[in-house]
A = this chain, B = another copy of it.
Amino acid sequence: MDLMTTYAPAEASERTGLSLDTLRYYERLGLFGPVRRTTTGRRVYSDHDMAWVGLLVCLRNAGLGISDLQRLMGRLRDRSGGPTGVVELLEEHRSRLHGEIAKMNLALGVLDDKIAHYRGEAGQSKK
C-alpha cells in the first residue's frame, strides 16, 4: 500500500530534535504511537509518528505540560465519541499563551526600566 518512509530511532531523534530517551518517554506516556516494531522489537517510526511528535514538540515549546498533552492527545486520538473538546482545549491554551506573552512583555518592560535605571545611575544608590 503506502510506501511510506520510515525512520530508525536515531534518525527520528535527529529529525525531531528529541533524544532517544525522550522519544521513548513520550511514547510510554501515550503521547503518540504505539510505534511499529520490527520482529525483534526495534522501533520503526513512520511519517505519521514524526508529524505527531512535531506537534508535540511545538506544543511543549508553547508551554503545555505533559499532562496537557496527554489530555489533548487522548482527545485527538479517539475523536469518534462526538464532541471531545479538542478545539476548546486548544483555544483555552491559546488564551493562556496570550496571557503568558503579555506577562513576558510586561517583564520585558520592567527589565528595560531596570536597564535604563542601572545604566543611567553611576555607582551609588541606597536610599
Binding site for B on A (CB under 8 A): 48, 55, 58-59, 61-63, 76, 79-80, 83, 86-87, 90-91, 93-94, 97-98, 100-101, 103-108, 110-112, 114-115, 118-119, 122-125, 127
Contacts and interface: CB of A to CB of B under 8 A. Distances in A.
A101 B103 CA distance: 10
B98 A101 contact: no
B115 A87 contact: yes
6 contacts: A48-B127, A61-B103, A76-B118, A79-B125, A83-B123, A91-B115
Looking at chain A's contact residues, is the secondary structure mostly helix, strand, loop, or mixed? helix
A85 to B, nearest CB: 10
B111 A104 contact: no
Contact of A94 (B58, B61, B86, B112): B112
Contacts of A122: 79, 86-87
